[in-house]
Amino acid sequence: MAAVFTDSNFEAEVLKADKLSVIDFWAPWCGPCLALGPTIDELSKEYDGKVNVGKVNVDENPVISTNYRITSIPCVLFIKNGQVVDRQMGLAPKGVFDKKIQKLIGA
């Protein structure tokens, strides 16, 4: 299961992480977000220990969403060393995320 990131734990869990973080910004009322959920959970299992994979509910965590100018969901940010290094807007197949992750972790 993907981690749950919040306004209160985002800095410690994501920005100060020593590995790539893949963060899915979503909301429970968003159909494409719900369709993407199982893909994010699969990535979490596959990259366990190598990549920090989690979700941010935009309704419950407005500070993070505002800080990263999330205006459309789903939006997946790839954060490394505290910086956004890539992003994927909208629903996409798992292979798209795999390619980005592989490139960013240097595999």
Integer Cα distance of 73 and 71 in angstroms: 7
Integer Cα distance of 84 and 68 in angstroms: 9
Q: Which of 30, 64, 70, 73 is catalytic?
A: 30
33 part of the active site: yes
30 part of the active site: yes
CA 80 to chain centre: 12
Q: Which of 22, 33, 75, 77 is catalytic?
A: 33
State how beta strands 21-26 and 52-57 pair.
parallel
**Residues with catalytic roles:** 30, 33
